[in-house]
Amino acid sequence: HKSQSQCQQNYSLFLLFYLFLSLTQLPTYNYFTEILPHVFLFQMMKFAWDNYKRYAWGENELRPLSRNGNDGRTFGGLRGASIVDSLDTLYIMGLGEEYQEAKEWVENNLNLKVGGEASLFEVNIRYVGGLLSAYYLTGEEVFKRKVVELGRNLLPAFNTPTGIPHGVVNLAGRSSGGDLGRSSVLAEFGTLHLEFVHLSELTSDPIYTEKVMNIRKHLNQLDKPRGLYPNALNPVSGNWEQHYVSIGALGDSFYEYLIKSYLMSDRTDEVAKRMYYAALEAIENNLVQRSPGGLIYVAEWRGGILDHRMGHLACFSGGMIGIGAEHGSPETRQHQLDLAANITHTCHESYRRTPTKLGPEVFRFDDGAEATAPRVNERQYILRPEVVESYMYMWRLTHDPKYREWGWEALEALERHCRLATGFSGIIDVYGHIIQHDNLQQSFFLAETLKYLYLLFSDDDLLPLKDWVFNTEAHPLPGNSHITGN
């Protein structure tokens, strides 16, 4: 990596050059293939970090319009979500001073002895995933100590008759947390496997792996409507609560963690592999559709009735299906790679068909809609990463230059519409000609969106896919044969 001072100097020169060109003709991606994306993303990350540090240091996220921090209740009293989520991005991009600031805050200020009720899912993917990744990338023992302590605090969530965890956990360990009458969500209890296996590796304590293997065992015993996994399960009875199926919100990362569990195990976890390809076959048979205009999308399923909509969250599936393609049967390999490309194309269309060139939270394929959001309450863009995530994977798998071109379009749109004087913010209506901001710089923007864009424009040997898997918050975790520092 270039030094921080070099990148800042290059960026200053670029700004002058860009200003000159913008007065004549807007540059295309190809013109800057060699120099622009990394310098631009380096400065975007530094800008986001500097404003978080100035206005919201130690809080969970920055509110750039009001110039203060946002804590919320998601993390049960844990603070510094943007710091922990940013550790590996800062390190990968070579932002050394900022990484040291983040490390020192974790060492001196990350208090894990808090008594609030936290989302098991969010704490796992952001804090556990972020600390694990930082430890594996740097070898710094402080990250290992913190993540081991935090992992122990999550175990009471599993104190249910079935072992299916509650969605919330009391981090002080006084109770299991949660409401026994509340459903557990597939994407939440199904998105623990990668991190918990690593916790067992680090601690030499099998309890974490046992907890997630019990979830898998229970799911394999259940009947599945048409082979599909409904999104809600009762943690007491162990039965499905309803037959709503989605690979977007409430379902998404469960499927992602099946194929990634197989990959992280150095291709030895045959149970995860079988579950993934069986689920993918059911999704293809029941949910994958072609629009009147020829776009391939993944609909949602409500008790046998299709809802012809696709959420931004579901756009991760292009990358997921792509990385899974080479490990299935040889006769389905090209078909699955084509499916991955088609879904990624559809998600790009949801961006291309807006004036801002940023995609809506939900886009539809009914009543004449084609990858657009006719409903006003579905038009927001909250700095989500899933579309550029699939661009990154599809670039690594195919080296088709269109994925970098699409990534450049997204990067340019982020700069144009989401950058404020005091940080980045989501926008309320991607179709609006007057931009209104939502006043939140999400921690996942630093953890995922900027990281995936940076990797899209990097050489394949930066975090190669054969050695690393990314958790659903884009925190890289090594495959089993590459784990060090135990």
Active site residues: 122, 252, 361, 386
Number of C-beta neighbours around residue 227 at 10 A? 14
CA torsion through residues 133, 135, 136, 138, sign:
positive
Amino acid at 216: R
Contact by Cβ (8 Å): 155, 214: no
Buried b or exposed e, range 152-168, using 16+ CB within 10 angstroms: bbbbbbbebebbbbbbb
| Rounded CA separation 58/81 (Å) | 8
What residues contact 167, with CB distance under 8 A and at least 6 apart? 119, 120, 121, 178, 182, 184, 185, 188, 189
Contact by Cβ (8 Å): 339, 284: yes
Nearest to 413 by CA among 347, 351, 346: 351
Contact by Cβ (8 Å): 164, 233: yes
Residue 106 token pair: 């974790």
Long-range contacts of 320-324 (CB under 8 A, 24+ apart): 320/255, 320/256, 320/259, 320/393, 321/280, 322/390, 322/393, 322/394, 322/397, 323/259, 323/263, 323/393, 323/397, 323/465, 324/259, 324/276, 324/277, 324/280
Distance between first and last Cα of the chain: 27
Give me the phi and psi of 438, to 5 degrees please.
-90, 0
| Rounded CA separation 179/361 (Å) | 29
> Is residue 346 annotated as involved in ligand binding?
no
Cα–Cα distances in angstroms (integers) from residue 402 to residues 284, 322, 341, 380, in the given order: 25, 16, 11, 25
Residue 73 token pair: 């209740």
Contact by Cβ (8 Å): 427, 438: yes
Contact by Cβ (8 Å): 91, 134: yes
Contact by Cβ (8 Å): 10, 2: yes
In which element (H, E) is residue 476 found?
strand 476-478
Contact by Cβ (8 Å): 193, 269: no
SS3 call for 180: coil
Query: Residues forming the annotated binding site for Ca(2+)?
Result: 472
Query: Residues forming the annotated binding site?
Result: 472
